[in-house]
């Protein structure tokens, strides 16, 4: 705590800090202030120094509204070209995924469109999706590549993610999803493609400064545990953090392999075996839950929530925003599904979309409200934090602050 002049101070607020004891780490009748994009005071009105209130450059009365950390969407595929709405109609009409893929649909439809798009077209396409997440309270998100499946197209996706970060008030983490799908031109030489990604694409994209983490799709219809382990070993040698799509459709043991490499997260984990949760805990690996994809795919195997809880594994919640299996542009919708379908509590869901999502991206400077953290926060028109997981849709966000800079929504509503 400091008594130096603040850029902005909010008083008469209720704070869901997620950093103190008790439900939501709540501070009733609190205040929160920041300077130079960093939180300097988080506490009760009683604890607030009079000099701090008097000297703040801007003082605002929150009127008893709730403040939370800015939301963090730690798993998206938000940069892609086109969409697959027609396939959605076809599936509802009874066509199988295999039939759609054989006719040129499925992931290769997205690959074809993305390869042809170029950086600026990808930026224009993705911007409305990121705007929707921002309007839902997101201040940090991850964007994966993986729909290019050539070096140039993968580079374009990562470049587009960087341009979006510069153009919008949101932090973007770029993940190279190098092993996502086998491109048709390598259908007869799988080993050559894996080696190409590991030995050429990864070091070249890393040298360009485009990679914050790597990811792979470890699944019977994608890449094996051994192939993903080779990819991880190469990333580890370059000092690049690791993440893994694991145990979504079957149990291959990818999660334990990822934990052995100190992975930031394993994502989906519906088929994770209860006994394997301990390995994630030991490694400090976050389990990222993606309930929207579970619903869209009409899956029946729930992730082992009770085992993850018992082992003390942090559980993050994300949208998995993508054109095929999770066309979801609202993190609060994913939070609701994490509660209503997976059985998380609203408090777990909020922590999953902030505190634990930050850990899943390797970001230790956000996700909670406490002094020294980034001033990324949201002011909500709600009477209790559980409403963030309770309501479907609606305009709950009153103000969003990114790096200490308010969006101005609050002023516009005054």
Mind listing the pLDDT tens digit for each residue in 274-304? 999 999 999 999 999 999 999 998 999 999 9
* Confidence tier at 98 by pLDDT (50, 70, 90): low
Q: Note the pLDDT tens digit of each residue in 209-255.
A: 999 999 999 999 899 999 999 999 999 999 999 999 999 999 999 99
d(CA 88, CA 290) in angstroms, rounded, equals 19
pLDDT of 7-59, one tens digit each? 999 999 999 999 999 999 999 999 999 999 999 999 999 999 999 999 899 99
Does the pLDDT at position 62 exceed 60? yes
More confident residue, 165 or 106: 165
Given this chain, do its domains 8-69+369-413 and 71-360 carry the same CATH topology? no
Give pLDDT, residue 195. 98
Domain ranges for the chain, please list them: 8-69+369-413, 71-360
Of residues 222 and 99, the one with the higher pLDDT is: 222
The predicted model gives 103-125 an average pLDDT of: 92
The model's confidence at residue 413, banded by pLDDT at 50, 70 and 90, is low
Question: Quick one: which of 336, 334, 319, 328 has its CA closest to 389?
Answer: 336
Residue reference for tokens 């800090």: 17
Name the band, by pLDDT with cuts 50, 70 and 90, for residue 88.
Answer: confident
Residue with structure tokens 């209503």? 340
Confidence band of 1 (pLDDT split at 50, 70, 90):
very low
Helices (DSSP H) in 75-150: which residue ranges? 85-92, 97-102, 107-117, 119-135
Tell me the whole-structure pTM to 2 decimals.
0.96
Task: From residue 259, give the alpha-carbon distance in Å to each of 93, 285, 347.
Answer: 41, 6, 26
CATH number for domain 71-360, candidates 3.40.1160.10, 3.30.70.2740, 3.30.70.1380, 3.20.20.140: 3.20.20.140
Residues 373-395 pLDDT 10s = 999 999 999 999 999 999 999 99
Pairing of strands 66-69, 59-61: unpaired
Regarding predicted confidence, which is higher, 193 or 4?
A: 193
CATH superfamily ID and name for 8-69+369-413: Urease, subunit C, domain 1 (2.30.40.10)
Q: Is pLDDT of 2 > 60?
A: no
Burial status of residue 186 (CB atoms within 10 A of its CB: 0-12, 13-18, 19 or more): middle
Per-residue model confidence as pLDDT tens digits over 131-151? 999 999 999 999 999 999 999
Which band of pLDDT confidence, cut at 50, 70 and 90, is reported for residue 103?
Answer: confident
CB-CB neighbours of 68 under 10 Å:
24
Q: Cβ distance 170 to 130 under 8 Å? A: yes
Please write the tens of the pLDDT for every residue from 335-377: 999 999 999 999 999 999 999 999 999 999 999 999 999 999 9
Separation between Cα atoms, residue 33 and residue 20, nearest integer Å: 17
Model confidence at 94, in pLDDT bands (50, 70, 90)?
confident
């Amino acid at each position: 705590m400091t008594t130096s002049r603040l850029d902005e101070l909010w008083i008469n607020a209720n704070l869901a800090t997620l950093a103190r004891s008790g439900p939501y780490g709540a501070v009733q009748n609190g205040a929160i202030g920041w300077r130079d994009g960093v939180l300097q005071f988080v506490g009760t009105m009683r604890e607030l120094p009079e000099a701090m209130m008097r000297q703040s450059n801007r003082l605002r009365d929150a009127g008893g509204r709730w403040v939370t950390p800015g939301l963090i969407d730690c798993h998206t595929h938000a940069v892609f070209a086109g969409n697959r709405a027609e396939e959605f109609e076809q599936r509802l009409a009874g066509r199988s995924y295999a039939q759609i893929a054989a006719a040129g649909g499925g992931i290769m439809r997205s690959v074809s469109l993305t390869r042809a798009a170029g950086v600026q077209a990808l930026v224009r396409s993705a911007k409305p999706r990121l705007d929707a997440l921002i309007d839902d309270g997101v201040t940090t998100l991850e964007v994966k590549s993986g729909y290019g499946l050539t070096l140039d197209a993968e580079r374009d996706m990562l470049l587009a993610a960087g341009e979006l970060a510069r153009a919008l008030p949101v932090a973007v983490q770029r993940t190279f999803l190098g092993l996502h799908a086998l491109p048709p031109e390598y259908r007869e030489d799988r080993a050559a493609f894996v080696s190409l990604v590991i030995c050429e694409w990864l070091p070249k994209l890393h040298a360009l400064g485009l990679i914050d983490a790597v990811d792979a799709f470890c699944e019977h219809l994608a890449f094996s545990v051994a192939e993903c382990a080779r990819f991880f070993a190469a990333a580890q040698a370059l000092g690049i953090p690791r993440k893994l799509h694991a145990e979504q459709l079957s149990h291959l043991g990818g999660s334990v392999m990822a934990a052995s490499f100190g992975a930031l997260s394993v994502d989906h984990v519906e088929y994770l075996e209860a006994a394997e949760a301990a390995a994630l805990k030991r490694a400090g690996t976050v389990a990222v839950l993606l309930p929207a994809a579970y619903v869209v795919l009409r899956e029946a195997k729930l992730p082992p929530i009770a085992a993850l809880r018992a082992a003390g594994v942090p559980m993050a919640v994300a949208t998995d925003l993508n054109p095929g299996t999770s066309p979801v542009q609202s993190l609060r919708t994913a939070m609701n599904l994490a509660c209503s379908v997976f059985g998380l509590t609203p408090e777990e869901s909020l922590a999953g979309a902030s505190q634990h999502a930050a850990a899943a991206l390797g970001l230790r400077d956000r996700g909670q409200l406490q002094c020294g953290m980034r001033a990324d926060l949201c002011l909500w028109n709600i009477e209790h934090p559980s409403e963030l997981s309770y309501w479907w849709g609606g305009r709950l966000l009153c103000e969003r602050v990114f790096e200490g800079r308010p969006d101005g929504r609050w002023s516009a509503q005054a």
